[in-house]
Amino acid sequence: MQISHQKLSLLLTIVFGLLFHPVFAEDINTDSIKENKDSLETKQEAESFSRPLPIDIIQEFTHSFDKIRKEYVEDIDDKEILTNAIKGMLSGLDPHSTYLDSTSFEEIKEGTKGEFSGLGMEVGVEDKHIKVITPIDNSPAQKAGIRAGDFILKINNTPTRGMSLDDSVKLMRGEVGTTITITILHEGSKTPEDITITREVIKLSSVKSELLKPDFAYARLSSFQSRSANDLKDQIKTLAKTNKSPLKGLILDLRNNPGGILTGAVDISDLFINQGLIVYTKGRHESSIQKYSATQGDILDSAPIVVLVNKGSASASEIVAGALQDHKRAIIMGQQSFGKGSVQTILPMSEKTAIKLTTARYYTPSGKVIQAKGIVPDIVIENWKLDKTKSKFNSSVKEADLEGHLSGAKISSKDKNGEKSDKNLSKISSKLETDYLLNEALNLLRGIDILSKHKKAL
């Protein structure tokens, strides 16, 4: 059925009127509207609805819609045109607000399964380009050499400039075993590189931990899931049993952790903070204000913590780092974090579609803004890598090398029993030789422990 431009314009104007009926009710009294925490229509929201819609822009919209229907080079379904209009409204707001079609909406709902088929990296949009926030641990992307800060210029020869985040994710996901070629521009490089990657099932095992040295534990969080806090708690308890005494320090590695669910970050922080605010959110309306506080109990009994962050640490990672830093519960070490401090809310539009809309910002307990600023470490260290070299000439001579040297005193059996063996730590020790930041964090914890012993001895 053909609709004239005049009728189409009138129809869309009526539709807008029905959707935003308070606009046309000039005598609406917003003071008489009752505030209800369970309803989106608070007084502030009603006041925003009372703002007159720009009729001239609505007319431009209907003109554009009509021209596209009649004169575009190919015949496009009206539904597709209007859906693209919705996508445009959202993509123009910020990099994280987006339209979720039936496939994307289903993926969001199924996200709690902790696995998907794809390349295994968190991506965002910067200056209309797709940018890698961080690759997931042991993912095809990480194995192929994808790094945080890389720009994805093409996906299977399709340019990504101006491409929506959802569209880029759809192109990169696919059936297990299929390959994809992406054109990458590494940070600091001037020459793009084509990388072919085979898609795999990406299983998000979010917590890994082990003893670095006797008394000192290391925990790596690759993402924040609903089970992350319980998994970390159980693993710390297991490490303490293996250590056969309470831990004297923990390194919490949040590098290249893109985030996850808010409650996961709150629960992780709560493991180490006894009381007080962990994080709060604030947006335009009262319904967006949420405060999350700690409960009594510290799983490490106040043992020192060093949190490692870099520019790939985002969102939930920044909530944890910010909370522990503000409460002076941990020393933050590394690079300034990514700065993704906004809250996205999934708002269903139908049974199969929804919009993901930025509705608030995160704030640390002291009120610091995370969005576009990130967490500044207490100790800033760049992403250096250690390279152990061996000299061809070893001219150093020790006392033990001298002929006729005196032997050292024999260690009593009591002293031997008091020493803890490093024989099971060879694997992680080799990691310390190449990971400069991890090595520095361990040295810091050991220094704090030595200083604490000296103070007790005085």
Sign, CA dihedral 120-122-127-128, equals: positive
Cα-Cα-Cα-Cα torsion 414, 418, 423, 429, nearest 10 degrees, comes to -150
Give every CB contact of residue 72 below 8 A, 6+ residues apart in sequence. none
In whole angstroms, what is the distance from residue 61 CA to residue 67 CA? 10
Give every CB contact of residue 298 below 8 A, 6+ residues apart in sequence. 271, 272, 273, 274
Sign, CA dihedral 332-335-336-337, equals: negative
Q: Name the active-site residue from 213, 311, 340, 356.
A: 340
Look up 416 and say whether it is catalytic. Answer: no
In whole angstroms, what is the distance from residue 93 CA to residue 264 CA? 27
Q: Name the active-site residue from 222, 326, 342, 356.
A: 326
> Which position has the token pair 């998000």?
204
In whole angstroms, what is the distance from residue 453 CA to residue 458 CA? 9
Q: Name the active-site residue from 315, 317, 337, 342.
A: 315
In whole angstroms, what is the distance from residue 115 CA to residue 17 CA? 43
Paired tokens of 187? 């940070």
Look up 315 and say whether it is catalytic. Answer: yes
Give every CB contact of residue 285 below 8 A, 6+ residues apart in sequence. 42, 44, 45
In whole angstroms, what is the distance from residue 154 CA to residue 168 CA? 10
Look up 101 and say whether it is catalytic. Answer: no
Which amino acids are annotated catalytic? 315, 326, 340
